[in-house]
Chains A and B, each alone.
Chain A
Amino acid sequence: MNASMPAAAVQQQFDDAPQQKEAAMLGMWAFIATEVLFFGVLFAAYVICRWRFQLAFVEGSSHLDFPMGTAETAILLTSGCLSAIALRQIQLNKARQSAVLLLAASLLGVAFLVLHGMEYHDEFKEGLIPGIRYVEKGPSAHEMELFFALYYVTTGFHSLHVLIGVVLLLIMALRTWRGSFCAPYHTPIEITGLYWSLVDIVWIFVYPAFYLVGSAG
């Protein structure tokens, strides 16, 4: 019976719109917590492996495309800011502006995916992908394989999240353009923004962990 109602209506189990909104926000944050822990395992594995194989991690990191990673970080940060401003604009009842900002945010997400795909492609050519094509030889080849395994699992799961985020942002842009949201009711945009910021935060930690190992150690 919920599905047939107009989007702005309050579902029967709630007393009023603020209660419904607060429930949605709390639910989203609970979901974010589970996502943080999901990635948290990979970071825990990373910390252990990095502590055990410091030199291999420095060497592995030097094979990654540092300028590309930095550009990707800047893109995601900007995109996150655009989605935050989109929320502000819809609160001011500027639906068209909000829709354009959401579209721009999702296009930046696409740009991120394209750049990262190019990175994957180059690394495939270099033979750095464990399990698919890994040609590294030398004393620390095995330990470097762990570095790359963690890199691919982490960035792979992250890219999957970016992809989901891009789709969500596109849907939100479309719905906003069509006037589904307004100043009193914009919870889906806020929820999507939270998700997109989570994707941002994960990358904020991925970037230094893999690209900036640099001369540490």
Chain B
Amino acid sequence: MNATATTADLESMGSGYLVEGGRTLWSWLGTRDHKRIAILYTIAITAFFFMGGAAATLIRLTLIHPDGRLLSAETYNKTFTFHGVVMVWFFLIPSIPSTMGNFLVPIMIGARDMAFPRLNLFSWYLYMIGGLFTAATLVFGGVDTGWTFYTPFSTMFSNTNVILAVVGVFVVGFSTILTGMNLIVTTHMMRAPGMHWYRLPLFVWAMYATSVVMMLATPVLAMTLALIGLERLAGVGIFDPALGGDPILFQHFFWFYSHPAVYIMILPAMGVASELICNGVRRRIFGYKFMAWSMFGIAFIGFLVWGHHMFVAGQSMYAGIVFSMLSFVVAVPSAIKVFNWLATLYKGDIHFHAPMIYALGFVGLFTLGGMTGLFLAAVALDVNLTDTYFVVAHFHYIMVGGSVMAYLGGIHYWWPKATGRMYSENIARLAAILMFVGFNLTFFPQYILGYEGMPRRYHQYLPQFQELNVISSIGALILAVSYLMPLFYLGHSLFRGEPAGSNPWRATGLEWTIASPPPEHNFHETPVVTADPYDYRD
């Protein structure tokens, strides 16, 4: 565990895995090194993030004025569909698992690589092919169904490229499945001697729980989308009311995947936050076993709550009540996690470096998003709030406030490990704070708008909603700036950053015992683990 750290401080950018596998383009595109694949994913995911972000900017610009002058109704529908499809399947779902999960899980457990390196690369190519299909929908005129592809609109009425989009999501789904399988097998089989389950960092637990959800949920989406494609192509009428089929059956299948998919997005973020918080306060996590098992609690109960998306869709009232109660139950393990983070912080000496600011932002925004989720889980309230901006604000608090904050926090925290360089801490703090402010300015007004009755997915609205919409759009501008900032200062640090050394955060964990950037097979000799995680002693 300590033999490899000695030369680390001398090494910096342009060493380790970044050059050891070769410097050619092909040495990257044909690589099997999990770290290089993680970098490939990071580049691709960043590109999609900014594509989806551009669509979001267009949406917010349109909504500055109640008349919706910027985009026609049809273009507006296509814009929010593109935003949703790209952000859900090409950014949020793979964001943390495919980048940090790929990079860190083998190192954190003391392995030389993932269990199936070739499959790992293959899953990146699947991701790119799926992305190509989705980008192609834009070229051919877009899709207007919304990211949910609800039937019968998507099967019988929409004249847009639904099949192309569905194929793109189908393919990227298999990329997700393969990544999940790889992470499960790696965690089970590749742990270093002494690294038993309760010595795993919580990030690894989070990735494991996420992978189980990926494995058990994504195939359902794949087949459901295949049925949509077949219904459009060949008239297979399972969702077609004209034949006696039931469009609501589609919603059952879709949300059986898509609600757990929310946990695919948030569980990794919880893992990242746990790492960041322990390091920022230099303590052990409070209630390690509760933290680990509550993630499995969330993953499991998350499969039993999908009907709360369908309270007003025509589902039976009795089913609605059952789903409502189960939805309240999922708040329990989530709350355990929030309380344990707070207990970890309690009376601690908190270091406000950029990753910690992101992590604290995550906890706050996740709590607010989760609490409003409870409002929506109550049938009586949801009947009024369904399809309003309240729902939009709620899930953006979870996905953007939660997942993206944690994603960026993790990127900052492990940046020195992946690149060997430190970024400029002050400007990073500024970006993090700006992001927190911009985010709340964008989405908090949407809670109020939704509560007052503004429906989602319209490009026009009543004039009395304009003030709050303008505030929201100004917030979106700030948010856009704060998202662009890391691109510049992290990019700058690649060339001009201070060498980071092997452990700039004085953190615990196997990844900080090896050089930055790590050598090609991570460990020169297999580490032997003798201590619990988060063994901070100062």
Contacts and interface: CB of A to CB of B under 8 A. Distances in A.
Interface of A: 1-2, 11-15, 19, 22-23, 26-27, 30-31, 33-35, 37-42, 44-45, 48-49, 52-53, 130-132, 142-143, 145-146, 149-150, 152-153
Given A2-B118, A12-B113, A13-B111, A30 B185 contact: yes
Interface stretch (B219-227, B269-277, B278-286, B490-498): B219-227
Contact of A15 (B117, B217, B224, B526): B526
A13 B190 contact: yes
A44 B253 contact: yes
Contacts of B218: 34
A23 B189 contact: yes
17 contacts: A11-B117, A13-B106, A13-B190, A26-B184, A26-B188, A27-B115, A27-B181, A27-B185, A41-B219, A41-B220, A53-B244, A130-B234, A131-B233, A131-B234, A131-B236, A145-B243, A146-B238
A205 to B, nearest CB: 15
Given A23-B185, A23-B190, A150 B219 contact: no
A153 B230 contact: yes
B32 interface: yes
Contacts of A44: 252-253
A45 B117 CA distance: 36
Contacts of A38: 219-220, 222-223
Given A19-B189, A40-B220, A1 B32 contact: yes
Contact of A26 (B117, B185, B217, B223): B185
B122 interface: no
A27 B244 contact: no
B397 to A, nearest CB: 30
Interface string B231-257: 001111110001111100100110000
Contact of A153 (B113, B215, B236, B253): B236
Given A27-B185, A31-B181, A131-B236, A41 B114 contact: no
A132 to B, nearest CB: 7
Contact of B244 (A15, A26, A143): A143
Given A13-B117, A35-B219, A26 B189 contact: yes
Contacts of A30: 180-181, 184-185, 215
Contacts of A132: 234
B116 interface: yes
A39 B253 CA distance: 12
Given A30-B185, A142-B244, A153-B236, A23 B220 contact: no
A12 B242 CA distance: 57
A130 B244 CA distance: 14
A146 B117 CA distance: 43
Contact of A2 (B32, B180, B220, B526): B32
Given A30-B184, A40-B220, A130 B237 contact: yes
Contacts of A23: 115-116, 185, 188-190
Given A13-B115, A26-B185, A30-B184, A149 B220 contact: no
Given A2-B32, A12-B521, A149 B236 contact: yes
Nearest to A26: B185
B117 A2 contact: yes
Given A13-B115, A23-B189, A37 B234 contact: no
Interface in B508-538: 521, 526
Contact of B237 (A13, A22, A52, A146): A146
B112 interface: yes
B224 A41 contact: yes
The 4 lowest CB-CB distance pairs between A and B, nearest first, are A131-B234, A13-B113, A41-B223, A37-B219
A137 to B, nearest CB: 14
Contacts of B380: none
Given A37-B216, A41-B223, A149 B237 contact: yes
A122 to B, nearest CB: 19
B18 interface: no
B177 interface: yes
Nearest to B248: A48
Contacts of A130: 234-237
